[in-house]
Amino acid sequence: MSCESFCTCVLTDCPAFHEKHGNTCNACIKKNLDSHEIPACFWSNVEKPEVVKSDYTFLKFAESILKHEKSA
């Protein structure tokens, strides 16, 4: 399945960016699973890209979700 129609990733310089891999998310998902991280596209539903910077870990994502749930 092509992800170009819904991808919200702004990390175009990432080696796993979908346009560098036939417009599929496979390389990105594999990279993130191997690194125990959440893909940037998931983060974009919670934080602005400039807020996340570099810590895409499961823990940081969970903390961010909880913070936003409390403020909602």
Torsion, Cα of 15, 24, 9, 11 (10° steps): 10
Q: What confidence category does residue 58 fall into, taking pLDDT thresholds of 50, 70 and 90? A: very high
Q: What pLDDT, in 10s, does the model give residues 10-35?
A: 888 989 998 888 888 899 999 999 99
Mean pLDDT of 68-72: 80
pTM of the model: 0.75
Mean pLDDT of 28-44: 91
- Answer yes or no: is pLDDT of 1 > 70: no
Whether 11 and 40 have beta carbons less than 8 Å apart is answered as: yes
SS3 57: strand
Residue 14, classified by CB atoms within 10 Å of its CB into exposed (0-12), middle (13-18) or buried (19+), is middle
